[in-house]
Structure 1
Amino acid sequence: MLRASRAVTAWLFHPAATDAMIGGAHPSHLDVTHQPAPGTQVRLPAPLGEVREEFTVPRGTAQAYRLREGEYLQIIDVEGQQCSDFTAFRSDGLEAGREWMIDGTATRSMVRGAYPGPGLLDKFHDAEMRPLLQVVQDTCGRHDTFGLACTARGYEDRGFPGHLNCSDNISEALAPYGVARRSAWPAINFFWNTWIDHASHRIMTEESHSRPGDHVTMRALEDLVCVSTACPDDIDPINGWNPTDVHVRIYRPETPIRRAVAWREKEDAPMTTSQPSAFHARLEPLTRHFTAARDLWAAVDFPATGALGEYWACREAVTVQDMSSLRKYDIVGPDAEALLQRATTRNVAKMAVWRGAYTLMCDEAGTVIDDGTLFRLGPELFRWCCGSEESGRVLEELAREMGAQVRIHALGGAMPNLAVQGPQSRELLRRIVFTQPQVPALGDLKWFGVTVARLGDREGAPFMLARSGYTGELGYEIFCARADALAIWDAIMEAGADLGVTPMGTEALGMIRIEAGLAAAGAEFAPGVDAFEAGLGFAVDLDKPAFTGREALARNAQAPRRVLKGLLLDGSDVPRHASPVLDGERQVGVVTSATRSPTLGHAVAIVRLGVEHSENGRRLEIGQMDGRMKRLGGTVADIPFIDPQRKRARA
């Protein structure tokens, strides 16, 4: 590739053998493409690798192009909120007179979702169910696979005859490839924000979620003819009411482009893309089934055992799970205790060094912002391990308000961690943990105790070791430096081989945490739900001095309207999240989480109920199929469903 920083005249020569010229043979084919430099007012994202070709699709136009098997295609929303219709045809089909193209219905059926994402089920298929493209990266996550590219009729029926439209633009762009003209083209509408309204079942739309530079990158699985548009719609919110350009890059097959989706701490925060965790080199050979966990890839399950096998390993032996997506903050300084006393619901002043506690951060209304485990590593040194960055922002804001002499340090990816859980977890760690005399030994750690340890002996890799977890079983968590992650993983797997140590993924963890009655963000606690309604009143100390949300929580504790309970279902049907809980024809609650309990042999659900319907033994129903046509009967019970006294974790 040649690049010029100013106007130039280029001469290209293609030498041919003399005998070939004399014999009348034609020289070999040469492709030459020219792309004017993009305007200086728009900054495109850096290329992902070696670019074979790139071009801009000006607003209101379409461009067709060839993509060879193995090449990567990147479609970039240059200025943000710009729809780009896309489709692709198998080249061998066009040569045979067959228009084998992306089929939205086949794709949705094959991937069992509205839109493919990086992972196993991440492909666009044709009507013969053959995969044409594999999604590798997606930084927007909101696209349309339901409808058509915009059509002339669509504008005409709204009083805009002669308006530019994507369907006509697609037909004109594909004509040189022998593709028959259509008045309406089905297309993958990248960056068009649509969804199905659950009440009306209509396709809804509004302005796009895409920002400048957002892109979708795909890998061609066949030789393809593709077409991309820059949609001209300026009478709908589709393009933010202002159509702009789309940029296309084609990368050579040898370009190493990793799978990734976008992650933003907050809507207006800078974008990062999902990264492999520090343990990924050990996980990837064991499974290809990963899901995005904030900014990291997390294993869903492992084919050698399956989620059910992982579940029983945690119940009966020992499991190891990558939990690196947890957020960690160090809170250091003379006012660290005072800050955390104000910010959290536990009495931090009573927390001894080398102890931890499960606690909450709430807003003024008592709504849970975040939950996590707070560890005290010294008189003025704390480590907060939590679910989201929001609590970090709360701490920063509160420290400024208090004028506190404290430093809040977000550890980011600097401290990956593993959960070692199950009845054999202590025996496994006994074989590899070394502690100095001045810190608690492994055998001294009570529930929520913490220490610093090394791998094997005083020269081994260092790590923080806590007796904590998210399973309700005896278990520990290891926090280490990235450089030591693989050595610690290998030591755990080697030491636990005869104990049945098993890698565990998110699917098995979901079953276990629901059986244990442990709360999850977006399920048990959510906007508008206070700590008591989320079933987390045990983590609220109303006797401590003032903390954020205390007045609201004290008031709500006196007369709660809703409580968190369990429902033991009669069968194995698992209700969906947010399904209505019914007493006859009246809704009296909602499902927050549900699973089939392998231990109990039937489904269980965590439900939020009105207090009038929350007594144990009461019969209620969960509505399915619009809440009326199917009912799942069950009996109200306390949570946890298994080991209600948490004896396993305290063992």
Structure 2
Amino acid sequence: MPEPIVTRTSPDRPRASSVLQPGLWQGGPGMERYRVKGRGSLVVPVKAGDRIAVCDTEGAQACELSFIDTNGRFNDAGLDVASDGTAEGLKALVAEGGEGASRTLAAFRRRGIDLAVARSLGLFGQSSTAGAKAEFTMALDGLLVVAAPGRPMHVASADTATPIELRVKRANVGRSYMEMLPEPLADPLQEIRIRAATASAYFVRAGEFIQLIDVSGRQCTDFQAFSARKVDRGLDLALDSTITRTLLGRSYPAPGLPSKAFDRDIEPLVEIVQDTVGRHDAFATACNARYYDDMGYPGHVNCTDNFNKALAPYGIPGRKGWEAINFFYNTHVDQQNQIHMDEPWSRPGDYVLMRALTDLVCVSSSCPDDIDAANGWDPTDIHLRTYSGAESFSRAVAIRMTPESAPVPTQETAFHPRFAEKTRNFTEYRGFWLPASFRDGAIGEYWACRERAVVMDLSALRKFEITGPDAEALLQWCLTRDIRKLSNGQVVYSAMCYESGGMIDDGTLYRLGQNNFRWVGGDDASGLWLREQAERAGFRAWVRSSTDQMHNIAVQGPGSRNILKDIIWTAPQQSSLGELDWFRFCIGRIGHFEGPPVVVSRTGYTGELGYEIFCHPKDALAVFDAVMKAGEPYGLTPMGLEALDMVRIEAGLVFAGYDFNDQIDPFEAGIGFTVPLKSKADDFIGREALIERKQTPRHRLVGLAIEANDAIGHGDPVFVGRAQVGVVTSATRSPILKRNIALARLDVHHAALGSTVEIGKLDGHQKRLPASVTDLAQYDPGKTRPRG
């Protein structure tokens, strides 16, 4: 008998995917967002009916708005509000060459605008709160000019300049392709729209720049290039991804030293100059007919056939499968050597900028793949621009403070010109180019730090000015240390935790006054967290970024005090440099009472006696030159990040992302001393979780002395028998201890001093390296040298 049909009263209905994409800003149709950097300016075309909102994101930042009509005149009618100033802030920024000054001037020149007669409307200022907004509706078509003016910051004050955010809600929601395109980096030589599922070939001369733009976001493009002189000889020696990966030791070229891509003759054809995505691949060929045939889509358009068609006029023979540098693709190889693929990381307007190293025939595609996630399931257009070789573009990648933030390109620190005279080996670190090593090599720099003195660029550290009547209360609530015990002129090392007890960041807090503090940490997230907590709890406190106005070098080593004591002038009410105790700072000047102002703290990251010197970028070269001159008799030498990693591991000093993250609490990170649960009476974020974690610990960060000379690295597993009991977080070969050492997070049952463990290589079982548990700091565990 047939089975009876079961009727449900409320049958389940298939549901759509619920996907959160914080990386794609959800502004809504017709909404645009712009960031005006502190001490910067921006020009945006607007039309009548457009609604604009200006936001003081961090508080206490002045803003100037100017409107220019289609006749090139400053006109109050555009904003429908009377001007109250003469744009003095904008004029000063343009005269100083501030952020965006060249583009602002270029926009004015093209329209015949006279900056001397500028008018402006002043917004916000010293009393405005974080997130303060002003909204307007445009009454005329024209240009909106937004400036975030400010004076150069004095190191002993909090008069920093911070970003202004501009949002534009277009009256006409439908944006054309050209309106979606970002502004050119310079005047283009070629503009080519590569429509979805097509490819275009083009010729580029040596020295010219090639910009590939993902207009809508999450769209892949294959790139291939040939030496034009070889094409003329009938050779089609294309870029070879295998050779490029082998020579660079990485998956794909990137700005910096590993920037070049090579053909089959091992000739470099292009170098990567700028990259706002940082995630591409060269693991596979461009898509081809075979791929779609095997997936059940015979006849599907593909990049290989598109390449063949585009390259035919140049006499380049077709292939069944082209390899390429796959820009904006997101594939990776797992531990089992399987290749996996997901949606691209690229956002609308992201790009890669390359420079041709010889005359090139190039071809680029807009990938037609719509049967998987390669293009976010929706193929769109790619835009190509080329620029003259006479243009100048700095090498840069992009970082974002938060997933939805606008990309910020890599900066050179104010000390960069002096370090660049001594090395070309720079690495990108947290949005800045920092030296990796110098001509003596990391070992030579290491011994200079241990025996003499070194100078390092630490300007990438994030600085935040915390001020206001509730500044102390905010920090007491957000930091694990007891801030009420901090005296003026004192520095304290602290952790900052989530409610779960997991760490946000570690850093040092400087007390400059009763209501004035400076946080120096490693991540922008710490400043964002402080600002969020101030708003949530209603604290009258401002948290304002000062990283761009406060650059710093560190002078470390046994000779550091002698080098600095005679060049740092301090007023009578300040401690002299020679009188500074550990974790104290003084405010002074270089040389004499009219010299460049500096803040000097007796702190460091090397395990040696040392100091950090903070100054405004405009004074950086004068500060550096004075330090180097004073250091000549003591053998002062520059030190890069490679040697810094060696000395900090020896000293048991932890590094974010390696030795701790947001799942690790301060006790597990080896810095439990920053959590005074007994002596700090006030509550703070994460206290309850940290009490519980301390009572029932699972892991402990320890040192490992390794009885083998094989290389050890972050992520290597640690075993006792067949069971994995931990993981290596940082490792190095210690010259002074004459062995490999590591920091490792171990199960507490195997973390006692002297316990024996094994570090796994290969699959963790086929090869083991014996090790024993030591103090976290294997070099000078009592900290006698920095205290001395």
TM-score bracket, shorter-length normalisation: over 0.9
Identify the match of residue 316 of structure 1 among 451, 463, 480. 451
Could you say which residue in structure 2 is the equivalent of 1:22? Answer: none
1:299 aligns with 2:435: yes
Query: Which amino acid is 2:352 matched to?
Result: V
Q: Which ranges of structure 1 fall in alignment gaps of 5 or more residues?
A: 1-37
1:485 aligns with 2:620: yes
1:472 aligns with 2:602: no
Identify the match of residue 552 of structure 1 among 680, 689, 692. 689
Identify the match of residue 544 of structure 2 among 400, 404, 409. 409
Contact 1:524/1:592 (CA < 8 Å) preserved in 2?
A: yes
Identify the match of residue 380 of structure 1 among 501, 515, 534. 515
Identify the match of residue 267 of structure 1 among 383, 386, 403. 403
Could you say which residue in structure 2 is the equivalent of 1:449? Answer: 584
Contact 2:496/2:503 (CA < 8 Å) preserved in 1?
A: yes
Could you say which residue in structure 1 is the equivalent of 2:145? Answer: none
Contact 1:287/1:301 (CA < 8 Å) preserved in 2?
A: yes
Contact 1:354/1:440 (CA < 8 Å) preserved in 2?
A: no
1:285 aligns with 2:421: yes
1:528-547, Cα deviation, whole Å (9 max, x unpaired): 21111111101111021111
Could you say which residue in structure 2 is the equivalent of 1:92? Answer: 229
Could you say which residue in structure 2 is the equivalent of 1:610? Answer: 747
Could you say which residue in structure 1 is the equivalent of 2:573? Answer: 438
Once the two structures are TM-superposed, the CA of residue 431 in structure 1 deviates from its matched residue by 2.1
Q: What is the rounded CA distance, in whole Å, between the counterparts of 1:290 and 1:45 in structure 2?
A: 29
1:640 aligns with 2:780: no
Could you say which residue in structure 2 is the equivalent of 1:325? Answer: 460
* Higher alpha-carbon deviation: 573-582 or 106-115: 573-582
Could you say which residue in structure 2 is the equivalent of 1:8? Answer: none
Identify the match of residue 169 of structure 1 among 303, 306, 320. 306
Q: What is the rounded CA distance, in whole Å, between the counterparts of 2:534 and 2:357 in structure 1?
A: 53
1:575 aligns with 2:708: no
Query: Which amino acid is 1:83 matched to?
Result: C
TM score, norm. by length of structure 2: 0.77
Identify the match of residue 370 of structure 1 among 494, 505, 512. 505
Could you say which residue in structure 2 is the equivalent of 1:33? Answer: none
1:453-473, Cα deviation, whole Å (9 max, x unpaired): 100111110011110011111
Once the two structures are TM-superposed, the CA of residue 42 in structure 1 deviates from its matched residue by 4.1
Contact 1:572/1:601 (CA < 8 Å) preserved in 2?
A: no
1:313-343, Cα deviation, whole Å (9 max, x unpaired): 1111111111000011111111111111110
List, as ranges, runs of 4+ consecutive aligned residues in structure 1 with deviation greater than 3 Å: 38-42
Could you say which residue in structure 1 is the equivalent of 2:249? Answer: 112
Once the two structures are TM-superposed, the CA of residue 295 in structure 1 deviates from its matched residue by 1.6
1:5-41, Cα deviation, whole Å (9 max, x unpaired): xxxxxxxxxxxxxxxxxxxxxxxxxxxxxxxxx9456
Contact 1:592/1:608 (CA < 8 Å) preserved in 2?
A: yes
Q: What is the rounded CA distance, in whole Å, between the counterparts of 1:48 and 1:289 in structure 2?
A: 26
Once the two structures are TM-superposed, the CA of residue 629 in structure 1 deviates from its matched residue by 2.0
1:174-232, Cα deviation, whole Å (9 max, x unpaired): 0011111112111111101111112x211111000001111111111111111000011
SS of the equivalent of 2:637 reads: strand
Matches within 5 A, 1:30-179: 39-40=176-177, 42-179=179-316
Q: What is the rounded CA distance, in whole Å, between the counterparts of 1:397 and 1:258 in structure 2?
A: 34
Query: Which amino acid is 2:390 matched to?
Result: E
Once the two structures are TM-superposed, the CA of residue 169 in structure 1 deviates from its matched residue by 0.3
Query: Which amino acid is 1:552 matched to?
Result: A
Q: What is the rounded CA distance, in whole Å, between the counterparts of 2:640 and 2:634 in structure 1?
A: 19
Matches within 5 A, 1:497-508: 497-508=632-643
Query: Which amino acid is 2:785 matched to?
Result: R
Query: Which amino acid is 2:387 matched to?
Result: Y
Contact 2:460/2:547 (CA < 8 Å) preserved in 1?
A: no
Query: Which amino acid is 2:239 matched to?
Result: I
Identify the match of residue 358 of structure 1 among 480, 487, 493. 493
Contact 2:198/2:306 (CA < 8 Å) preserved in 1?
A: yes
Q: What is the rounded CA distance, in whole Å, between the counterparts of 1:259 and 1:44 in structure 2?
A: 22
SS of the equivalent of 1:391 reads: helix
1:425 aligns with 2:560: yes
Once the two structures are TM-superposed, the CA of residue 368 in structure 1 deviates from its matched residue by 0.8
Could you say which residue in structure 1 is the equivalent of 2:394? Answer: 258
* Percent identity (aligned): 50
Contact 1:76/1:213 (CA < 8 Å) preserved in 2?
A: yes
SS of the equivalent of 1:496 reads: helix
Q: What is the rounded CA distance, in whole Å, between the counterparts of 2:443 and 2:408 in structure 1?
A: 33
Identify the match of residue 595 of structure 2 among 436, 460, 467. 460
Identify the match of residue 629 of structure 2 among 483, 494, 497. 494
Could you say which residue in structure 1 is the equivalent of 2:94? Answer: none
SS of the equivalent of 1:179 reads: coil
1:92-148, Cα deviation, whole Å (9 max, x unpaired): 211111111100100000100001111122110012211111111111111110101
Q: What is the rounded CA distance, in whole Å, between the counterparts of 2:183 and 2:634 in structure 1?
A: 48
TM score, norm. by length of structure 1: 0.93
Query: Which amino acid is 2:534 matched to?
Result: A
Query: Which amino acid is 2:240 matched to?
Result: D
Matches within 5 A, 1:212-231: 212-231=348-367
RMSD across aligned C-alpha pairs, in angstroms?
Answer: 1.1
Identify the match of residue 479 of structure 2 among 344, 351, 371. 344
1:329-386, Cα deviation, whole Å (9 max, x unpaired): 1111111111111100111111111101100100111111110000111111111001
Could you say which residue in structure 2 is the equivalent of 1:521? Answer: 656
SS of the equivalent of 1:341 reads: helix
Q: What is the rounded CA distance, in whole Å, between the counterparts of 2:408 and 2:602 in structure 1?
A: 32
Could you say which residue in structure 1 is the equivalent of 2:61? Answer: none
1:464-506, Cα deviation, whole Å (9 max, x unpaired): 1110011111000111111100000000001101101111111
Q: What is the rounded CA distance, in whole Å, between the counterparts of 1:528 and 1:435 in structure 2?
A: 43
SS of the equivalent of 2:253 reads: coil
Q: What is the rounded CA distance, in whole Å, between the counterparts of 1:546 and 1:574 in structure 2?
A: 44
* Higher alpha-carbon deviation: 520-529 or 464-473: 520-529
Identify the match of residue 329 of structure 2 among 173, 192, 197. 192
Query: Which amino acid is 1:601 matched to?
Result: K
Could you say which residue in structure 1 is the equivalent of 2:729? Answer: 592
Contact 1:290/1:298 (CA < 8 Å) preserved in 2?
A: yes
Q: What is the rounded CA distance, in whole Å, between the counterparts of 1:490 and 1:570 in structure 2?
A: 44
SS of the equivalent of 1:641 reads: coil
Q: What is the rounded CA distance, in whole Å, between the counterparts of 2:185 and 2:442 in structure 1?
A: 35
1:580-636, Cα deviation, whole Å (9 max, x unpaired): 101111111110100000111110010111111112112211001121222111111
1:51-97, Cα deviation, whole Å (9 max, x unpaired): 21121111110000111111111111111111001101111211111
Query: Which amino acid is 2:542 matched to?
Result: R
Contact 1:374/1:382 (CA < 8 Å) preserved in 2?
A: yes
Once the two structures are TM-superposed, the CA of residue 559 in structure 1 deviates from its matched residue by 2.5
Contact 1:42/1:78 (CA < 8 Å) preserved in 2?
A: no
Q: What is the rounded CA distance, in whole Å, between the counterparts of 1:574 and 1:378 in structure 2?
A: 48
Once the two structures are TM-superposed, the CA of residue 260 in structure 1 deviates from its matched residue by 0.6
Q: What is the rounded CA distance, in whole Å, between the counterparts of 1:617 and 1:92 in structure 2?
A: 65
1:201 aligns with 2:337: yes
Once the two structures are TM-superposed, the CA of residue 526 in structure 1 deviates from its matched residue by 1.3
Could you say which residue in structure 2 is the equivalent of 1:540? Answer: 675
Could you say which residue in structure 1 is the equivalent of 2:101? Answer: none
Could you say which residue in structure 1 is the equivalent of 2:84? Answer: none
SS of the equivalent of 2:654 reads: coil
1:511 aligns with 2:646: yes
Could you say which residue in structure 1 is the equivalent of 2:385? Answer: 249
Once the two structures are TM-superposed, the CA of residue 557 in structure 1 deviates from its matched residue by 1.3
Query: Which amino acid is 1:376 matched to?
Result: R
Q: Which ranges of structure 2 fall in alignment gaps of 5 or more residues?
A: 1-174
Number of aligned pairs? 612
Contact 2:445/2:454 (CA < 8 Å) preserved in 1?
A: yes
